[in-house]
Amino acid sequence: MTVKKLKFKTETKQILDLMVHSLYSHKEIFLRELISNASDAIDKAHHESLTNKEILEDDKDWKIKIAVDKDAGTLIVSDNGIGMTKDEVIKELGTIAHSGTKEFLTALQKREVQNNPELIGQFGVGFYSSFMVADKITVISKKAGTDNKEGVKWESSADGSFTVEDVEKEGKGTDVILHLKDEEKKYLEEWEIRNTVKKYSDFIEHPIVMDIEREKESKLDKTKKVKLKEEETLNSRKAIWLKNKSDITETEYNEFYKHISHDFSDPAKVVHYKVEGVSEFTSLLYIPSIRPMDIFYKEYKIGLTLYVKRVKIMDHCEELIPPYLRFIKGMVDSSDLPLNVSREILQNNRQVETIKNSITKKVLDTLSDMKKKEYDKYLKFYGEFGRVLKEGIHFDFSRRETIGELLLFPSTKTDQGKFRTIQDYVDDMKEGQEGIYYITGTSLDESLKSPYLEAFKDKDYEVLIMLDDIDDIIMSQFEFKGKKFKSVIKGDITLDKSEKDEKEKARKKYAKLLDLIRDLLDNDVKEVRLSGRLKDSACCLVADEGEMDPQMEKLLKSMGQDVPERKRILEINPSHPIFESMNKIFEEDRRNKILEEYTELLYDQALLLEGSKPRDSAAFAKAIAKLMVENVQHGK
């Protein structure tokens, strides 16, 4: 019999080290993770048995068994599920097949590990949590559907390597044998196992059983007691979603949520409802209170668990929910779909589309109701998931306004920590105001100090502050009740029609100076024009309507994406004293070197105001220093 020794991948070894050496306050979650893995293995076998009779087994025989050997110090979790081949064992247990592994490691290093056990479940590394309590783990598995007794044995002491060998195994499925550390022997006690199963796995559909020793009356002599071992089911196995809502306690709802989500926090909201008629299904949905750390990674698993007549068909059924509601956890149990439904069938199934539309409407209605009746709770939800929710403006055209009514923004007229809805904004728009004005930025304070807001503040126009990196892409194409969104840092702005005549006079006065500035900056800007948005600042850079927001441009560049270089428009404040001075110099001597120096300074200043760096920081600093010296000398 050949024993093959292999090394763990680098990230896997790092996670093992963390599991071995980190002090978690919830070490018992290792049992939850092993039971969940066993349950998934049975679900896969059960589902495959619908079309593969070689795997067929009566429902009553599907089970997860926990066994203890106090003499050997081992805890064993067994299932009769799908099992694994040797190649699958090496792949599944030797490598963490999750491209978010590095993010998981970063998350563990950044946060207090002992207070965040939910990270283990979120990132799919649950099996390795067993090394928190065991100094060696042995796994023996046999693939379902094979006639012979050939199985595989995997073993590791978390020392950076593992061994794999062929063994004989009766029956399909997997046995996970934990060789417990001396200080963790409490997990061999019946009461500890019972409490842990009740706490985390009570709603597992399959029976979790254990041989329990009890004293009973002897059948031969009723005056005597004998010790007997009987298999006992530890979990209730209640299909909670099929019970009446009035019969389910808040604690039961919360525990089921924690079981399916691997989240240790209670959900913000429970949505439990049944639909009857043309399409019949039951849905139990949860709105979480805390955002999963990997929700913005492309590897994040979207979708609800799909059951058909209580049989679990698949986890993460993406067809049941739109991506902008991907934070929703829960399940759907359909009475109409076939048991052998595949992802290909789901993608073009009218019943699935009906379920998806129903769930989407129900969730949005629930959020709307929460915003109206439980505003403080909604504020917390929005702080966690607002950025995800607003993606619906872009992707779900038919529900744009419904989603828009759920969005919250600070504005130039809100106090610290307060927010406005788009409806609030529209209700208070100035007479004759054509659009909903907004500014994008990276912080509230910087945005409120932006020179792009000067004219709006002067005219008492409200501007919404948008701080998410995706805001401009989403909101620039949005129209709410006939009002278009308009960025204050793009396009030409004229707030007061009566100022058009004054602007035209200034344009004629400075026409030749503007031409000179445009010629001097020919390689950097595509146009130089007078501004309708500046009151105190000398100049600013703006993009044309429909062009990419500078914040988004920086984000894409930071992600390594190619962004075409584009010239922007330099806007000049005609009422700023600098241009009166520059125009006087220009009229006296249009070739004066000072005009070129001032133009270069103004352009670099405009770059700084939009949050970019000057083209040449050293040259900019020297020019500023030179001006300061000249000013002091002139003052003398």
Identify the pLDDT of residue 470.
87
Identify the pLDDT of residue 55.
74
Other CB atoms within a 10 A radius of the CB of residue 265 amount to 13
d(C-alpha 461, C-alpha 411), whole Å:
10
pLDDT greater than 80 at residue 192 = yes
φ/ψ of 347, rounded to 5, equals -65, -20
pLDDT greater than 70 at residue 488 = yes
CA distances from 113 to 110, 255, 430, 506 (A): 8, 22, 51, 63
d(C-alpha 116, C-alpha 265), whole Å:
10
CA distances from 489 to 262, 385, 437, 546, 614 (A): 43, 26, 10, 11, 19
* Model confidence band, residue 287 (pLDDT cutoffs 50, 70, 90): very high
d(C-alpha 199, C-alpha 201), whole Å:
6
Could you report the per-residue pLDDT of 382-436, keeping only the tens digit for each?
A: 999 999 999 999 999 999 999 999 999 999 999 999 999 999 999 999 988 889 9
Q: Using an 8 Å Cβ cutoff, are 463 and 487 in contact?
A: no
- Mean pLDDT in residue range 99-120: 53
Identify the pLDDT of residue 116.
52
Identify the pLDDT of residue 635.
60
Please name every residue paired with 75 in a beta bridge, in sequence order, or none if there are none. Answer: 68, 178
d(C-alpha 456, C-alpha 451), whole Å:
10
Q: Using an 8 Å Cβ cutoff, are 117 and 25 in contact?
A: yes
Alpha-carbon torsion (158, 164, 168, 169), positive or negative: positive
Other CB atoms within a 10 A radius of the CB of residue 556 amount to 14
- Mean pLDDT in residue range 84-92: 88
- Mean pLDDT in residue range 54-74: 82
- Mean pLDDT in residue range 68-75: 96
pLDDT greater than 80 at residue 53 = no
Q: Using an 8 Å Cβ cutoff, are 286 and 267 in contact?
A: yes
Identify the pLDDT of residue 340.
65
Name which of 25, 491, 480, 39 is nearest 235 in CA terms: 39
* Model confidence band, residue 96 (pLDDT cutoffs 50, 70, 90): low
Among the four given CATH numbers 3.30.230.80, 3.20.20.80, 3.40.1190.20, 2.60.40.420, the one describing domain 240-379? 3.30.230.80
Name which of 157, 389, 370 is nearest 295 in CA terms: 389
Its CATH architecture, for the domain 409-487, is 3-Layer(aba) Sandwich (3.40)
Other CB atoms within a 10 A radius of the CB of residue 535 amount to 16
Please name every residue paired with 225 in a beta bridge, in sequence order, or none if there are none. Answer: 217
Identify the pLDDT of residue 563.
75
* Model confidence band, residue 113 (pLDDT cutoffs 50, 70, 90): very low
Percent of the chain past pLDDT 90, that is, above it, reads 47
Identify the pLDDT of residue 112.
46
DSSP class per residue in 6-63: EEPPHHHHHHHHHHHH---S-TTHHHHHHHHHHHHHHHHHHHHHTT-GGG---GGG--
Identify the pLDDT of residue 237.
81
Q: Using an 8 Å Cβ cutoff, are 339 and 306 in contact?
A: no
Please name every residue paired with 7 in a beta bridge, in sequence order, or none if there are none. Answer: 161
* Model confidence band, residue 97 (pLDDT cutoffs 50, 70, 90): very low
Rounded to a whole number of angstroms, the distance between the first and last alpha carbons of the chain is: 96
DSSP class per residue in 276-301: -SSS-EEEEEEE-SS--TTTTSTT--
Percent of the chain past pLDDT 70, that is, above it, reads 91
Could you report the per-residue pLDDT of 261-277, keeping only the tens digit for each?
A: 878 889 999 999 999 88
φ/ψ of 526, rounded to 5, equals -100, -10
d(C-alpha 51, C-alpha 588), whole Å:
92
Identify the pLDDT of residue 611.
79
Could you report the per-residue pLDDT of 504-551, keeping only the tens digit for each?
A: 888 889 999 999 999 999 999 999 999 988 999 999 999 888 787 777
* Model confidence band, residue 214 (pLDDT cutoffs 50, 70, 90): confident
Could you report the per-residue pLDDT of 472-483, keeping only the tens digit for each?
A: 889 988 999 999
Could you report the per-residue pLDDT of 139-151, keeping only the tens digit for each?
A: 999 998 887 888 9
- DSSP strands (E only) in 123-267: 134-142, 150-156, 161-168, 173-180, 208-217, 225-233
d(C-alpha 83, C-alpha 172), whole Å:
6
What are the sequence ranges of the domains in the chain? 3-233, 240-379, 409-487, 499-543+564-635
Could you report the per-residue pLDDT of 153-173, keeping only the tens digit for each?
A: 999 998 888 999 999 998 899
* Model confidence band, residue 368 (pLDDT cutoffs 50, 70, 90): very high
**Higher-pLDDT residue of 109, 243:** 243
d(C-alpha 428, C-alpha 461), whole Å:
10
The dihedral formed by the CA atoms of 156, 162, 163 and 168, expressed in degrees to the nearest 10: 50
pLDDT greater than 70 at residue 102 = no
pTM: 0.71
- For residue 277, count CB atoms less than 10 angstroms from its CB and return exposed for 0-12, middle for 13-18, buried for 19 or more: exposed
Identify the pLDDT of residue 120.
54
Q: What is the CATH number of domain 3-233?
A: 3.30.565.10
Strand 435-440 vs strand 464-466: parallel, antiparallel, or unpaired? parallel
**Higher-pLDDT residue of 380, 122:** 380
- b/e 358-397 (16+ beta carbons within 10 angstroms → b): bbbebbbebbeebbeeeeeebbebbebbbbbbbbbbbebe
**Higher-pLDDT residue of 238, 539:** 539
Other CB atoms within a 10 A radius of the CB of residue 114 amount to 12
* Model confidence band, residue 59 (pLDDT cutoffs 50, 70, 90): very low
- Mean pLDDT in residue range 494-508: 80
- Mean pLDDT in residue range 105-111: 58
Arithmetic mean of pLDDT over the chain:
86
Q: What is the CATH number of domain 499-543+564-635?
A: 1.20.120.790
Identify the pLDDT of residue 602.
93
- DSSP code at position 193: H
**Higher-pLDDT residue of 119, 45:** 45
Could you report the per-residue pLDDT of 327-365, keeping only the tens digit for each?
A: 999 999 998 887 667 777 787 788 899 999 999 999 999
